[in-house]
Structures are given as C-alpha cells and as structure tokens.
Structure 1
Amino acid sequence: MSAVTLLPGETLQRLDDTGITLSVAVEPQTPVFAGHYPNFPLLPGVFLLDLAERAVGRFAAGHGRRLGLEAIVSTRFLSPVHPGAEVIVDCTYTAGEGALRTVTARCTADGVKAATFRLRYREL
C-alpha cells in the first residue's frame, strides 16, 4: 500500500545543512474543501503538518540520513489557509543530544504565518 500525499506537487526552494524550504499551491479542487467547511472552505491543519513531515524526510534523504518522528512537541495554528493559497514550509534542523534532532517548521500561506510546529526526530 502506498502513502497518500495530502498536498501533492511541492517545489524545493532550499536545501542546505540547516534545513529545507518547500512550496506548494493549494488547489481549489482539492477534495477536502467539499466538506471542510461548506460555504467557508479551510485547509485542515493536518495538511500543513504532513507537508512539514515530507520536508523533513526530503531533508534527511538529501543528507544520507533516515529520521523517524518521535514527538510533536508543539503545534500552533495561527491563520486559516484558503483554496488557491501558496503555502511555504520552512524547516530548520537542530542537532540534539544523542540520536535526537529537533525541527522547527514555519508555514505561511500567501505570505501570512499560518502554523508553526516543533517536531522531535530520532536518527534511525
């Protein structure tokens, strides 16, 4: 069984030793908008979290590493994401103690801060 990509078609903006930045267009015809919410469509926050997780996976692969999500340390949803928005996720990677790594992800939608996540990973 293959994984489902919630927001397909991301574009790599940056990949370096400190992190990664991806962007993706939120297509208005994305099926989730039909039910979330009728007459006031909003992108569910899990889509942003999924994009951050994919960015971290791409960062790790680009550096010859494998990382497994250990914990979602904090999550803050700051503004809604509407159909047609351009979402940018910027992830900063910080080494921790032992095999632990911390990622801070900042999501913007059309230039407005939409969400922040602090995620903890373990090297596999």
Structure 2
Amino acid sequence: MSAVTLLPGETVQHLDDTGITLSVVVDPQALVLTGHYPHFPLLPGVFLVDLAERAVERFAEGHGRALELEAIASTRFHAPVLPGAEVVVDCAFKDGPGALRTVTARCVADGVKAATVRLRYREL
C-alpha cells in the first residue's frame, strides 16, 4: 500500500543541517475544498500538519537519517488557508535528550502565519 499525498507538488526551497523549507500551492480545484466548507472553501488543518511531516521526511532523506514520528506535541492554527494560496512551511530541528528530536514547523500562507506545529521524532 502506498502513502497518499494530501497536498501534492511541494518544492524544496531550502535544506541544510538545521532545517528545511518547502512550499506548495493549494490547488483551487482540489476535491477536499468542495466539502470544507460549501460556499467558503478552506484548506483543512490536517493538510498543514501533513506538509510539516513531509518536510521532515525530505530532511531525513537528504541527510541519510531515519526518523520516526513519536508525537504531535502541539498544533496552533492562526489563520485560514484559502484555495490558490502558496503555503510555505519552515521546519527547524532541535536535538533533545537521547535519540529524540523536536521539530518546530511554521506554516505561512500568502505571507500570513497560518499554523505552528511542533513534532517530536525518535532517531532510529
């Protein structure tokens, strides 16, 4: 079974030893927008969490590391993401005790802070 990409087409804007930045444009024709909400479509917040997770996966691949998601420590939604918006997720990595790594992802849509996601990973 292959994984489903919730918000396809991301582009890596920046990748170094401390983090990664991805961007993606929300397709105004995406089926998920038709039901969330009728007559006022918004991108469901889970898509931002998924984008942050995919950024971490790309970071791990680029550094030859294996990371396993241990927890979504917190998620704060600040502003809605509308169809056609460019979403940029900037992930910063911080080492924790033992094999734990904390990732803070800041999601911005068309220049407006949309969400902050904190994820915790275990290095395998």
* 1:97 corresponds to: 97
* 1:73 corresponds to: 73
* 2:53 corresponds to: 53
Q: Segments of 4+ in structure 1 off by > 2 A?
A: none
Distance across 2 between alignment mates of 1:74 and 1:47: 15
TM-score (norm 2): 0.99
Q: Which runs of 5+ in 1 are unaligned?
A: none
Deviations 1:55-107 (A, max 9, x none): 00110111110101101111100000000000000000111111000000000
Distance across 2 between alignment mates of 1:85 and 1:18: 26
**Partner amino acid for 1:99?**
A
- Aligned-residue Cα RMSD (Å) equals 0.5
Distance across 1 between alignment mates of 2:118 and 2:12: 21
Distance across 2 between alignment mates of 1:61 and 1:4: 18
Q: Which runs of 5+ in 2 are unaligned?
A: none
User: How far is 1:113 from its partner?
Assistant: 0.1
TM-score (norm 1): 0.99
